[in-house]
């Protein structure tokens, strides 16, 4: 985001609504935030140009596609250097089970969210795609029993 982006209450309302329904029609969004459709379209375009709105996604239910086992893999790589990190991240992102990769601080270097068809598939993934890699020092697997999504991300109060 550029430093010169200022948010007013209309921008915040637009961001709140779009994060819960990215497919809302512009005229409906405009009515919900109390501005003309042309003004709303200009506001959304400004937020996109500023890098605040980066895209629109369809949320899908992993279980409905046969992916009933979700897990977080805490991974340590060695050595922790760019020459190791970049190829590792590229490998993990290419795996069809990968939902997200987070480079983190602390004992672990990465947290990888995966969705698999079964615990056997999860075991195969860990053994064949993670622990066989020479840079991977350790993988700790955490099964996800439930998840809750937070509210919309809005500008941080100053």
User: The whole model's pTM is what?
Assistant: 0.87
Per-residue pLDDT reduced to its tens digit, 2-38: 557 889 999 999 999 999 999 999 999 999 999 999 9
Tally the domains of the chain. 2
Say if 57 falls within a structural domain.
no
Are residues 28 and 71 part of one domain? no
For residues 39 and 94, give the distance between their C-alpha atoms in angstroms, rounded to a whole number. Answer: 40
* 138 within 8 A of 80, measured Cβ to Cβ: no
Are residues 76 and 35 part of one domain? no
Say if 55 falls within a structural domain.
no
Are residues 92 and 125 part of one domain? yes
For residues 106 and 2, give the distance between their C-alpha atoms in angstroms, rounded to a whole number. Answer: 30
Residue 5: per-residue pLDDT = 82
Phi/psi for 15 (5° steps) reads -60, -40
Per-residue pLDDT reduced to its tens digit, 70-85: 999 999 999 999 999 9
Statement: residue 87 has pLDDT above 90: yes
* 112 within 8 A of 98, measured Cβ to Cβ: yes
Q: Provide the domain limits for residue 14.
A: 9-49
Are residues 69 and 45 part of one domain? no
């Amino acid at each position: 985001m550029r430093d010169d982006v200022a948010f007013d209450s209309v921008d915040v309302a637009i961001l709140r609504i779009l994060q819960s329904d990215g497919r809302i029609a512009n005229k409906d969004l405009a009515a919900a935030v109390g501005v003309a459709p042309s003004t709303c379209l200009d506001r959304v375009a400004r937020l996109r140009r500023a890098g605040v709105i980066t895209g629109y996604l369809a949320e899908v239910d992993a279980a409905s596609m046969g992916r009933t086992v979700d897990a977080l893999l805490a991974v340590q790589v060695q050595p922790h250097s760019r020459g190791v990190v970049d190829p590792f991240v590229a490998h993990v992102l290419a795996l069809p089970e990968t939902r997200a990769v987070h480079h983190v601080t602390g004992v672990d270097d990465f947290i990888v969210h995966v969705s698999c068809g079964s615990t056997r598939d999860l075991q195969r993934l860990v053994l064949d795609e993670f622990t066989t890699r020479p840079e991977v020092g350790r993988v700790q697997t955490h099964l996800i029993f439930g998840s809750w999504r937070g509210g919309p991300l809005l500008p941080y109060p100053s």
